[in-house]
Structure 1
């Protein structure tokens, strides 16, 4: 039982001290005035409860002796302490000077007594501290949850947008079919012109654009003449080769493998030799990979009496162009590679950074499809093409595909090549001749486009928005 005494000037202050120390459930044992103050004896409620429990006899507690007990380490019991017997002087242990000094210091300086402050009721009844929260782990979990939610939302949004695009494409196709069917019934000459353009090899995108802009007429032949006039106005060619050969410069023929760059280079070299002589011309080849590639050009050079230089990289090309700067015309035959090869970009960079004004002429194969020619132009475009040359005209069933690309990409058509003879099979591009050739003898081809196929093709052309920027610049007047 732990009875505590509290004194204060008044009973109220004394009771307040009891409440602060023992809580509101404390038991007041006595309350009396003593020497002008109020004295209260109180007991904690927990101690009162322990009085009702059966008490057990406490075991004797051992007590260890201190330095005051002559260093006796054996424990003694408080209930039956053993009497201390003075040791005889002869049996006292002999301590050295250092041990005696330490003993005297310990006896002279008693250890400070720590006064134990009894805990208050609030401290004893205070709840246990909450465990600390790992904010870093919590932030990481929240970031992971937010990222997962964003990814899920993005995936759902992407799927929703795909479905919306599919529905939009389906609706546009159906509406375009209905619109074209109505137009074909109301203006049948437009359907006839569309068949002619598709049979000539022109894209459905360009055909639809021109047909939508075509003036109202009842005659299909007149409508076709208007189409040819618009195409001729937008097909850019050089007026005569005097501007090209007389001006001179450095020209590089580029293009995919097998398009006829080496043969075309030999044809241009023969024209330059006939106009200015072999001393004013130089030939350079970068084809060090194809077996016999540079040998073919060397044979042409030997026939023409022109020296052929072989280069491997940009450094060799710089040196060669610096040595040949006094030549009137320099023709470069480049290595052929696919338009999807990453080395195309390196080749364009090598020609652009050679230290000279190298004009690139792109060779376009007339037998290639419209999509393939578009890829070739995009791959070799670089900082800009000086012009293009149409090759293998004699092997092409239709040339509308090449003319379509030249018009939409706004290229300057210099020459057309229609055979292997050097230099006879190289001609200046003639717009009228090319358009007549495109629309000539294509009745069998136009018959393959039925009335049921035209609405589908026009609807598909309406979804091709990639060339709208080029088609808006097509001159109609």
Structure 2
């Protein structure tokens, strides 16, 4: 190996000298700073290839010699009996000859690679190759698992660092603006979602006192809650309305309340009632009792064909109310129920009944189950049973669903009124003593909001500008 040394005042000069002597493809072996300049050790590319080839040949020879020695040791244990092997050279004699005359790698390769002469050694080599491949596969799999583990750890570290930095930012932000801290705490205690509460606190102007800040929040919430102005959209315009929702939200009672409000305004002749609740014991009977009191006949249907027949019989009615069977929002019957209402070729408006006592997560789940199927509006039920109503208002605002009515008791039709968004928002933000244990302390708020997504399923609120 012919490695040459070149010296120059700087790296460029020494490299130029090396390329001039060894060619443009000179390979730099090492470089170092010495007294007076830079020293480079270099070799030509052709000599580098020759050196690599020579090392490969030597490695092959060493490997073949090692294999030969192993086969020689194994051959000492072989017992080749029988007449068929008397005239054939033994494996031991071949290996002894190779061992004695092994001068070059070619001679070694020729003497031990003849298939007929080492047929008994082939299984050992194949087994060795299989074990090597299996070992490589296992190593690669372990390496992949370790890399994935490290990546997950790095992601977790990044998430924790971001959370801590956000917490520090919010801590400074809330300490400098106690009004925002109070508003954020109130919204969270009122059961508004963390994402909506955070967005309101972020966008609220900095120079507001607590009273004006509360008014600002109420106005923003009201601007983003859609309600009907009067009952003409439902009772005067008429049409076919189906009340849908999970079991136990009060659909039948709400249907009876709507029917009573219609009868009080327009009489019984133009109203039709239909029930599809054939699964509960006495499911039909509850609405039939209300219908009998109101003087309106109730049509019970069990499938799509019956529904078409009933709608055809009631085609001259001004308003038709359909009480549907209650099913879980995760039940496939939701799809079947909506399909039955859709396949009638009649524009049936679907009003979703939302239980005010349900959690925000449950209400979001219910809306997702029905919203993708042309939901027209909603009715909040059981307000009288709810300790806080921020959860249901939050879902209505985030999902942008029109609110028609609210109900707050079992009396028909007294315990039902047109939705008043200002009253609902004021009630939501007026905290009861029962909510105090669930309120966050000022020092806890930064750690709460740091784990939230700013735009998590909230979208852009109307009337909220950048601070």
Partner of 1:410: 400
| Residue 448 of structure 2 is aligned to residue 460 of structure 1 | no
Q: How does 1:43-442 map to 2 (within 5 A)?
A: 159-442=149-432
User: Quick one: distance in 2 between partners of 1:385 and 1:147?
Assistant: 54
Question: Matched residue of 1:246: which SS?
Answer: coil
Question: Matched residue of 1:460: which SS?
Answer: coil
The 8 Å contact of residues 363 and 389 in structure 1, kept in 2 or not, is answered as yes
Question: Matched residue of 2:375: which SS?
Answer: coil
Bigger mean CA offset, 410-419 vs 434-443: 434-443
User: Quick one: distance in 1 between partners of 2:153 and 2:293?
Assistant: 65
Partner of 2:78: none
User: Quick one: distance in 2 between partners of 1:244 and 1:316?
Assistant: 25
User: Quick one: distance in 1 between partners of 2:405 and 2:293?
Assistant: 23
Q: Give CA deviations for 1:424-443 in whole Å, capped at 9, x if unaligned.
A: 11100111111111112446
The 8 Å contact of residues 171 and 443 in structure 2, kept in 1 or not, is answered as no
Partner of 1:449: 440
- Post-superposition shift, 1:151? 8.0
| Residue 467 of structure 2 is aligned to residue 476 of structure 1 | no
User: Quick one: distance in 2 between partners of 1:451 and 1:167?
Assistant: 26
User: Quick one: distance in 1 between partners of 2:421 and 2:224?
Assistant: 10
Change (3 A) 1:455 1:128: closer
The 8 Å contact of residues 187 and 218 in structure 1, kept in 2 or not, is answered as no
Change (3 A) 1:152 1:363: farther
Question: Matched residue of 1:279: which SS?
Answer: coil
Change (3 A) 1:181 1:300: same
User: Quick one: distance in 1 between partners of 2:229 and 2:250?
Assistant: 24
TM-score by length of 2: 0.67
- Post-superposition shift, 1:146? 12
User: Quick one: distance in 2 between partners of 1:157 and 1:316?
Assistant: 61
Change (3 A) 1:164 1:285: farther
Unaligned runs of 5+ in 2: 1-113, 120-133
Number of residue equivalences: 344
Q: Give CA deviations for 1:40-64 in whole Å, capped at 9, x if unaligned.
A: xxxxxxxxxxxxxxxxxxxxxxxxx
Bigger mean CA offset, 184-193 vs 453-462: 453-462
- Post-superposition shift, 1:444? 5.9
The 8 Å contact of residues 198 and 446 in structure 1, kept in 2 or not, is answered as no
The 8 Å contact of residues 196 and 446 in structure 1, kept in 2 or not, is answered as no
The 8 Å contact of residues 195 and 456 in structure 2, kept in 1 or not, is answered as no
Q: Give CA deviations for 1:247-277 in whole Å, capped at 9, x if unaligned.
A: 1111110111110000000000111112222
Question: Matched residue of 1:376: which SS?
Answer: helix
The 8 Å contact of residues 286 and 332 in structure 1, kept in 2 or not, is answered as yes
Q: Give CA deviations for 1:252-310 in whole Å, capped at 9, x if unaligned.
A: 10111110000000000111112222121111111111111110000001111111111
Change (3 A) 1:156 1:354: farther
TM-score by length of 1: 0.66
Change (3 A) 1:191 1:302: same
Point out the structure with max Rg over C-alpha.
Answer: 1
Partner of 2:86: none
